[in-house]
A and B are shown apart, each in its own frame.
Chain A
């Protein structure tokens, strides 16, 4: 179970793949952020951490000479006030699950986990985490959009909100709001094993918890600081038991001679543990990244060996050649459709 020792700033994710003594190096706080309740809560919780006042989060976050990988080991938290826009159109490389009005929003920039394949390394100059404290402004903006039409809103892109739950429980702050807006379908994507939210909140019809799963070997190699597969499965079971809608995301799937052997036993294991009939749907996607992010990651001095593989460029997205994808996808679908109807499997 996740335990947070509030007085000592030590977080202990025993058995959940993440363990560190000093969670943050320092906390930067925007001058304008001090007046918000979240800021006060965070500063009370981490009262022994150095606080540095800043004018604007971009002064720290956008510096051009940050070493992403070293900073990742000494992450700082930046508390900031978000300015417009609060909603972004869903990106092309992400699945919209059939919803025409697909948006995403980011309460957090960056993540406590450290996946070698993560596009955030190419998207931001910094590995520090920005947490926006003006939740009411987010709500107003989301409300305006969702009153006009039904909206599919991804709230845990560019981060892992449930992984961050013990630091700032954003989903608690938004739970009532989501409850009041049934036309809003919210997806919370996570690799976390933290079960607190599912245990303390009643499931809502318009909240989907999307668990990203990978074979344990892939987790160990490329998903640093994330919980092991077993722990994620446990969290899925709890979420299902509590009545939450659960999506499984098999994303990113890798194609290489080693990875190819891992998926069949992995699927068998997952569906021997989880009743596939209870799963809302499944999303499937191969490793892919925008050309710009890929290039920026390769410019850094340290990056995962994944970026040394041969890929193809298609419409500005780097991924495996289409014919590989089709072959491998057919094989994966053959196995997956043993457990789940094809209509419930979404792929890009």
Chain B
């Protein structure tokens, strides 16, 4: 029993991170129809920049804040210099551009930082909290709380503000959005900035638990993509549910079967979704796009 609780908790923790990555995929996909495979690099940058600024002597909160800002700038640059310039190209070309951007960012990170693993100090120590026989890291609670806060903020933005409605309007009908005066390119740029910020926060929150290195983004993107597919590409609630389910599946799979195949679960979920329910759990059959 205590093991199951333990698996559930670690599953929830990584699941929360996957959910954030999937939410990043969703935001960009919704505003622009682009599947941004550089999403994982935002997570890597959030962790690595915080680590190196901290090593350089900045306190963690300051380093974290700077890391988020820099990652947002990278996200905006990705939009301006790669995606926007390729406007009018097909979906496949744009996906290849984001994969290229992801490889490029990894290469730059390898040169600017290094190829080793790095950790950050946990925010509230590393003394586990005992609960029903399971040991919970305080940092897990930080990750869960942080993820919940971000999700709440994004939902407030989308649901309660005219800016959020404009993001949805741009997703639903870009021509009509332009005709009412919505600056659709700035809206898409905003979605890149938000996704970058979310990815960076996910990265710096989870680094004390999972460590980080220049190449963690690849697997992160795969996991986030699987989560977004499972939930239904384009659905924000789907991204959250998909992320948590994937985290739990990995954790229980690793605990009960074998940890060797942990990373294969994301692949299995992608294939399973494609065969059984291509629109995902929360996705609509066909979306109305112009």
Q: Do chains A and B interact in one complex?
A: no
